[in-house]
Structure 1
């Protein structure tokens, strides 16, 4: 639009410039609306075409033509050649970009919260970051990216409901995931045993050990670790000594990072 306007200004004050005034004005109106649409949630093509039509109506009569009297020639503007589908596609694309950015922002906020509550969800973080990187690198267009985001959103919603299906709270699920990942093979009875250990551990810690400022004193830190070791000792036999020691350390670090006290933690 800027280039068209510069060319138009360059041939002024030649009277022949009048032949191009309508096209120039139409292009400027369309360009302005496309730019403005980048800051709007919805693209209303009818509003744009309304302004375009106002420009055209000034020069187009019932026979869809206008006359530049000073030129002595008649110039026909063929409305049938205006590609309304292409114009609509421009605004559809702009709306998709807005919706994609909005969805990406919402998913990012939700993902940050879920990952903070349960670090075992790092795979979701990695997948989301790869989606963003691939899109920014041009590996997929906005339509494919939108479909991928929708699919990712569904998987995140399923993950958010996983605790309900396992009959565990969000904080119990975090402990359960630390104990059972990655890929520890268990039968149904063993899984239930691990769930019970997860529930018992948090119940005991919150009732007896996670006092205010427990992280600041060696004595209270030691009592938390002792409770963890004693409770995890009730895990199924598949948790051999090396695995048991590893899980004790991981659970302690999780409790240390997550719980300032029994009532002050990231789950409250």
Structure 2
């Protein structure tokens, strides 16, 4: 199968209307403040009906391959924004691995259902920043900061969010003053120091007491690598 240049789960779902006739009901929504055009609201899809109608089709493998490619591309894009989403990639790989071991009708239908469940979870993940009141980059830093502190209460989580937002603002301010910073050791050191100082914080923008001093060095390295991968331009 020829790889889509830009596969989009929402568009694949729209194409699957031919599989389910009128079972898939979608509406276009305009992303506020976005110039990316219209997208389809995946939450409006009748997934249960979609599964039922898929079971009746004779071209299941073709439909499955389209969905598989779209999900693979979607996960790749999401992981570029936030490396802490690797669990979605691992889950996807496991689904495909199980499918490749046996491709009878029952396996194809089960795989389709598992992929649809994954699509719904990916959609919820893409909306998580809104629920956390963070933009995509703030959310990525927040996830890096809490990866080993999943037992934080609401107040502690809010403090980490404040640190993440403050850290990102300070990093962006520094980067705006630097030219091709990723090519210069002194500039890279300045960026790393900015991250480190922001993690120590001040006032209400300090990490909770559950964070140990040795955590800060590890977190500084993790956030710096993310900044380098996200904001350094190639070439």
Normalising by structure 1, we get a TM-score of 0.61
Structure 1 regions of 5+ residues with no counterpart?
Answer: 1-40, 44-90
In the TM superposition, what is the alpha-carbon distance from 1:184 to its structure 2 partner? 3.2
1:170 is aligned, of 136, 160, 179, to 136
In the TM superposition, what is the alpha-carbon distance from 1:212 to its structure 2 partner? 2.9
Structure 1 residue aligned with 2:60: 96
How many aligned residue pairs are there? 175
1:154 is aligned, of 95, 120, 123, to 120
1:228 is aligned, of 168, 171, 195, to 195
SS at match of 1:141: helix
In the TM superposition, what is the alpha-carbon distance from 1:183 to its structure 2 partner? 4.2
Normalising by structure 2, we get a TM-score of 0.69
Structure 2 regions of 5+ residues with no counterpart?
Answer: 1-15, 20-54, 202-206
2:228 is aligned, of 256, 261, 268, to 256
In the TM superposition, what is the alpha-carbon distance from 1:187 to its structure 2 partner? 1.6
SS at match of 2:58: helix
In the TM superposition, what is the alpha-carbon distance from 1:204 to its structure 2 partner? 1.1
Residues 183 and 229 (structure 1 numbering): CA distance in 2 closer, same or farther, change over 3 Å?
closer
1:216 is aligned, of 183, 193, 209, to 183
Question: How many angstroms apart in 2 are the aligned matches of 1:125 and 1:254?
Answer: 18
Structure whose alpha-carbon radius of gyration is higher: 1
Tell me if structure 1 keeps the 8 A contact 2:174–2:191: no
Question: How many angstroms apart in 2 are the aligned matches of 1:183 and 1:226?
Answer: 23
Tell me if structure 2 keeps the 8 A contact 1:209–1:220: no
- Are 2:79 and 1:112 aligned? no
- Are 2:111 and 1:145 aligned? yes
- Are 2:169 and 1:203 aligned? yes
In the TM superposition, what is the alpha-carbon distance from 1:218 to its structure 2 partner? 1.4
Question: How many angstroms apart in 1 are the aligned matches of 2:151 and 2:220?
Answer: 19
In the TM superposition, what is the alpha-carbon distance from 1:173 to its structure 2 partner? 0.5
The aligned runs of 1:37-186 (5 Å cut-off) are 92-138=56-102, 141-186=107-152
Question: How many angstroms apart in 2 are the aligned matches of 1:159 and 1:171?
Answer: 14
Q: Aligned Cα RMSD in Å?
A: 2.1
In the TM superposition, what is the alpha-carbon distance from 1:92 to its structure 2 partner? 4.7
Tell me if structure 2 keeps the 8 A contact 1:212–1:260: no
* 1:28-65 CA-partner distances (Å, limit 9, x unpaired): xxxxxxxxxxxxx979xxxxxxxxxxxxxxxxxxxxxx
